[in-house]
Amino acid sequence: MGECALSVENAPLRAPQSLRKSRTDRSAPAVLLIDCPDSLGIVAAIANFLYRHGANILSSDQHRDNDSGLFFIRVEFDLPNTPQILQSISAEFEQVAAEFRMRWRLESTERRRRVAIFVSRYQHCLVDLLHRNQIGELKCEISAIVSNHEDAMPLAGYYGVPFHCASPAVLRKPELEAEQLEFLAKSSVDLIVLARYMQILSPGFVAQYPFRIINVHHSFLPAFSGARPHHAAFERGVKLIGATSHYVTDELDAGPIIEQDVARISHRDQVENLVEKGRDLEKGVLSRAVRWHLEHRILTFGNKTVVLD
């Protein structure tokens, strides 16, 4: 482990007990996510299958992509003894899926996903995610904060989140990522959020968490990709700046886009003003992307996403 390796699992400074999330053991709804070639009878087949198993449909949202001819649907439903029944009905649903050539996932909302947040020195997105999770906006367990600097260690201690730091100045990239992957495996992490983590992940690392790494980029992609987009935007004299959240793939800043937002600027704004406005945008687009992922609302196809209600 590198010289920067630290842990604050038992840090004395903790968030007040009154701020901590309360948990219940009651059953939660399940979500069925599907994409397939569009054809007649898809919705009826899904509804009939759920009806036969005593499910109560709570909400449904669907979309047809005209260019690809693909059909997308998200169905949220309640079922008696949901966790016990889901595994058995999954096997039976295979017949319906095969008939319509479905790509599908059946998810229980009862289990809180375990999230690791990667951060470097800018902490605005990290603070926002920790706070939103604390007040119940994000239904997850933030199980680790991973960094290449020590700056976020006090914040991790305050929230009682295990902190892992390994410096790229001490470890070579393969060694650093191997150490991080080992830490993530021990923490049973389901989702990685890059909250202004200023390191490029290797293809081997990304392959361990396909479509389970969300990044925020401080520009309206595909414009001004790279490390200094605000400076590039200022030099170009743009009137809008933006921020983008996307899934991480092998190609830098080119994964499927989940959410974007923009803010208007003028000739009076300097680079520091662009950075300040950009940070507000980054917090919003990243938190929405994380929430939609945790709520099983995102389907990917090609290099695009469909975010269903």
Task: Just list the catalytic residues.
Answer: 253
- State how far the Cα of 249 lies from the Cα of 247, in Å rounded to an integer: 7
How many angstroms separate the Cα of 156 from the Cα of each of 12, 60, 198, 261, 282? 11, 38, 18, 28, 20
Question: Which positions ≥6 away from 208 have C-beta within 8 Å?
Answer: 181
Q: And the tokens for 20? A: 């901590």
- State how far the Cα of 80 lies from the Cα of 273, in Å rounded to an integer: 53
Q: Give the residue carrying structure tokens 């569009």.
A: 38
Q: Which of 113, 120, 93, 92 is CA-nearest to residue 104?
A: 93
* Whether the Cβ atoms of residue 201 and residue 118 lie closer than 8 Å to each other: no
| Ramachandran bin of 164, using left for φ above 0, alpha for ψ from -120 to 50, beta for the remaining angles | beta
Q: Mark out the alpha helices in 216-304 (DSSP H runs).
A: 229-236, 271-294
- State how far the Cα of 23 lies from the Cα of 213, in Å rounded to an integer: 26
Angle between the 229-236 and 271-294 helix axes, to the nearest 10 degrees?
130
* Whether the Cβ atoms of residue 8 and residue 162 lie closer than 8 Å to each other: yes
